[in-house]
Amino acid sequence: MLKVPFLDLRVTDSVERGEILTAIETVLDHGRILLGPEVDELERRVAARTGREYAVGCNSGTDALIIALRALRIGPGDEVIVPALSFIATANAVSLVGATPVFGDLNDDLNISIESVASLVTPATKAVIPVHWAGRMCDMGALSDLARHKGLHIVEDASQAFDASIGDRKAGDYGIISCFSMNSMKVFASLGEAGILVTDDPQLHERCVSLRYHGLVNREFCTELAQNSRLDTLQAATLLVRLRRLDNVIETRRQNARYLNGRIEKYVDVPRESEGQRHVYYTYTIQADRRDDLSRYLAAQEIETKIQHPLLMPQHPVYAGRARGTWQKADRLIKRVLCLPSNEKLTAEQLARVADAVSEFYRS
């Protein structure tokens, strides 16, 4: 039986492999291994691509979020509104700086509901972290209006949405600081762990650079406690190669999604784009009746799926019983979500198997 893996992290394209090896050899030759020229170039390119002034490469998306919150001096006594559904890093970043995450409910598109954010604002709320779930952007126009009206910072968690857009504005263009993860599972992926943050504010940029490396200023004076969160030059070199290939990767994912939508939309709720929206399909997430039976049926046919995530963030043991916020709708939605394989490495035959199997399940 032709297996359909959810993701394949091997570098199977020989041209890409050659380009990555050459980029790594360049680093081995110049020897500027820590914050080398590839980090500078990646920062310049990501800033330009997201329409921002500055970028700061970090060793993970989690650290980018922590640095962003610390740069904004968010800490104990402060509340930060986050969506109930995200990878746990979003809430943990808030908790790790000593602030309190307050969990907001979702819309049908699995992004945070702006009405829910409005209902959760208190005098202690300092910021909101929208997460562009699965690669589709939140309604940033409405959220920006609300944040302006309430005096809140927006810190975008665009970890899953590099290069997603609405109209001519990209993910990462709205936050006072915006953060991306480039861990190896992402659409724009390193060969390991990596993250980056972007901003337009020169002072915040300076502070983020300092917080990225032990709170040092001018590399010599430690002004506040911080960890080592620097981006590896070797990862930056890989990311520069991958950045050149990114348009093709995203276009293939979008074609795959269009194909699946056309084949299975009569059986399940498929991901859709609103007017002007460009979804980058970090995951192709459907909402399905009899979700668990469907996922077992697909597994029996060697089609690998993922549930992202079986638990909302406030339901994890670390938050359960003490989490604040509202997530009734989110709780209903996550019982229906299923991510199907749709990545750019799948063959037409594999993709057709996914569509056939979903159709057979609901017809039988």
Q: Which residue's C-beta sits nearest to ligand PLP?
A: 61
The verdict on 61 binding ligand PLP (CB under 6 A) reads yes
Q: Closest distance between ligand PLP and the C-beta of residue 182, in Å?
A: 7
Phi, psi for residue 31 in degrees, rounded to 5: 75, 5
Q: What does the DSSP 8-state code read for residue 8?
A: -
Q: Which two tokens stand for residue 39?
A: 């980090």
Binding positions for ligand PLP, 155-174, rule CB under 6 A? 157, 159-160
Candidates 50, 60, 111, 178; binder of ligand PLP (CB under 6 A) is 60
Candidates 195, 314, 325, 341; binder of ligand PLP (CB under 6 A) is 195
Question: For residue 52, which of 197, 206, 208, 156 has the smallest C-alpha distance?
Answer: 197
Q: Closest distance between ligand PLP and the C-beta of residue 308, in Å?
A: 9
How many whole angstroms separate alpha carbon 147 and alpha carbon 104? 14
Q: How many CB atoms lie within 10 A of CB 232?
A: 23
Candidates 165, 181, 229, 235; binder of ligand PLP (CB under 6 A) is 181
Q: Closest distance between ligand PLP and the C-beta of residue 28, in Å?
A: 25
Candidates 38, 39, 83, 86; binder of ligand PLP (CB under 6 A) is 86
Q: Which stretch binds ligand PLP (CB under 6 A): 8-16, 45-53, 60-68, 110-118?
A: 60-68
The verdict on 235 binding ligand PLP (CB under 6 A) reads no
Q: Are 353 and 298 in contact (CB under 8 A)?
A: no
Q: Amino acid identity of 256?
A: N
* CB closer to ligand PLP, 159 vs 210: 159
Q: What 3 state SS string does 204-223 have?
A: HHHHHHHHHECCEECCCEEC
How many whole angstroms separate alpha carbon 334 and alpha carbon 106? 10
Number of residues forming the site for ligand PLP (CB under 6 A)? 15
How many whole angstroms separate alpha carbon 202 and alpha carbon 46? 16
The binding site for ligand PLP (CB under 6 A) comprises 60-62, 86-87, 89-90, 131, 157, 159-160, 181, 183, 193, 195
